Amino acid sequence: MSILTFRNVSLRYPPRAGRGGAAEKLVLDGINLQVASDELVAIIGRSGSGKTSLLNLAAGFLEPTSGSITVDGVPIKGPNADRAVVFQDDALYPWLDARDNIALPFKLKGVPLAERREKAQQLLERVGLADAGDRRIWELSGGMRQRVGIARALAAEPRFLLLDEPLGALDALTRTRMQAFLLRIKAESGAGALLITHSIEEALLLGTRVVVLSPNPGRLTAEIEAGFNAEVLNGTPVATVKASPLFKRMHAGLNGLIQSTTDEELAA
Ligand SMILES: Nc1ncnc2c1ncn2[C@@H]1O[C@H](COP(=O)(O)OP(=O)(O)OP(=O)(O)O)[C@@H](O)[C@H]1O
């Protein structure tokens, strides 16, 4: 079991150039959060509340201004294969086919050609794209591209998946299918997951826990245990889960928490 821990983390961005000496911006303040391997922690919050900044800290793309971020007690020092990031726009290489996109992390590790193609094929099969390996990225649908992106993230056998709106660009039907897919893949991989999303519905459906980030500065202001993901993993259709009275009540509750952000917080 691995644990990703934020301890009293704050983040300030330097003043932007050309703003007449505008002050530094405190974006995240006193963040305490733990994500364990058996969890998917969903972070929701208004636009600009600092969700992506928080994920970038976990990825090691940014350093906290104060506080610490550790994996199993060891401070993170920059990006590392133990924390794989999946973005909204799949960030795949269009000049490579699906298989070679997935094989790239193995190539970077020096794995011989035949072996890395074999491993990539196994990952293609895991994400339901066994026959799509030879296709170029632009020949794939949005949902297929995200599957390739997720397969590439899994190639490094990460301890944590950092998911930044991974389904945000998909149409509603594909998104629903991919939600169940993402849960299955996460469970099979044994990795913990941190999911950033604008969608209360998606956070409730996928999250073991849902955490609310309030803006200006970004602070974790509420946390609820969800648990609907177990129902989806047990085969209950996503539409049935969403239609349950408990799901609707919790959705309304979270909506209220996010909407209660004051005008001052939004304007700050
Ligand atoms: N590199 C940067 N330099 C200065 N300010 C930044 C930088 N990146 C983000 N910000 C500011 O930090 C705040 C939080 O941004 P962030 O992208 O983390 O929020 P978010 O919740 O992910 O937003 P969204 O939901 O719209 O993607 C915003 O006010 C943004 O303008």
DSSP state string for 200-267: HHHHHHH-SEEEEEETTTBEEEEEEE--HHHHHHTT--HHHHHHSHHHHHHHHHHHHHHHT--HHHHH
Which residue has the least CA distance to atom 2 on ligand 1? 13
Distance between first and last Cα of the chain: 40
Whether complex ipTM tops 0.90: yes
Residue of 197, 195, 198, 200 lying closest to 256 (CA atoms): 200
Which residue has the least CA distance to atom 16 on ligand 1? 50
CA 67 – CA 74 distance, rounded (Å):
13
- The two tokens of residue 79 are 């990006």
7 close to 34: Cβ distance less than 8 angstroms: no
Which residue has the least CA distance to atom 14 on ligand 1? 50
Which residue has the least CA distance to atom 29 on ligand 1? 48
184 close to 196: Cβ distance less than 8 angstroms: no
Decide if domain 32-64+71-82+158-258 falls under CATH 2.40.37.10: no
| Interval between CA 13 and ligand 1 midpoint (Å) | 9
Q: Strand ranges (DSSP E) for 22-116? A: 25-36, 40-44, 66-71, 74-75, 83-86
151 close to 129: Cβ distance less than 8 angstroms: yes
CA 122 – CA 114 distance, rounded (Å):
13
| Interval between CA 146 and ligand 1 midpoint (Å) | 24
194 close to 86: Cβ distance less than 8 angstroms: no
187 close to 178: Cβ distance less than 8 angstroms: no
13 in contact with ligand 1, CB cutoff 6 A: yes
88 in contact with ligand 1, CB cutoff 6 A: no
- The two tokens of residue 150 are 């997720």
pLDDT by position in tens, the chain (length 268): 999 999 999 999 988 766 555 678 899 999 999 999 999 999 999 999 999 999 999 999 999 999 999 999 999 999 998 999 988 776 788 888 999 999 988 888 888 999 999 999 999 988 888 898 999 988 888 888 888 988 888 888 899 999 998 888 888 888 888 898 889 989 988 999 999 998 999 999 999 999 999 999 999 999 999 989 999 999 999 999 999 999 999 999 999 988 876 555 554 4
Closest ligand 1 atom to the C-alpha of 218?
14
7 phi, psi to nearest 5 deg: -120, 110
- The two tokens of residue 42 are 């969903």
Residue for token digits 């490579």? Answer: 96
| Interval between CA 47 and ligand 1 midpoint (Å) | 8
Whole-model pTM over 0.80: yes
Q: Where are the domains of the chain?
A: 32-64+71-82+158-258, 92-157
- The two tokens of residue 175 are 């998104």
48 in contact with ligand 1, CB cutoff 6 A: yes
| Interval between CA 76 and ligand 1 midpoint (Å) | 22
Three-class SS state of 90: coil
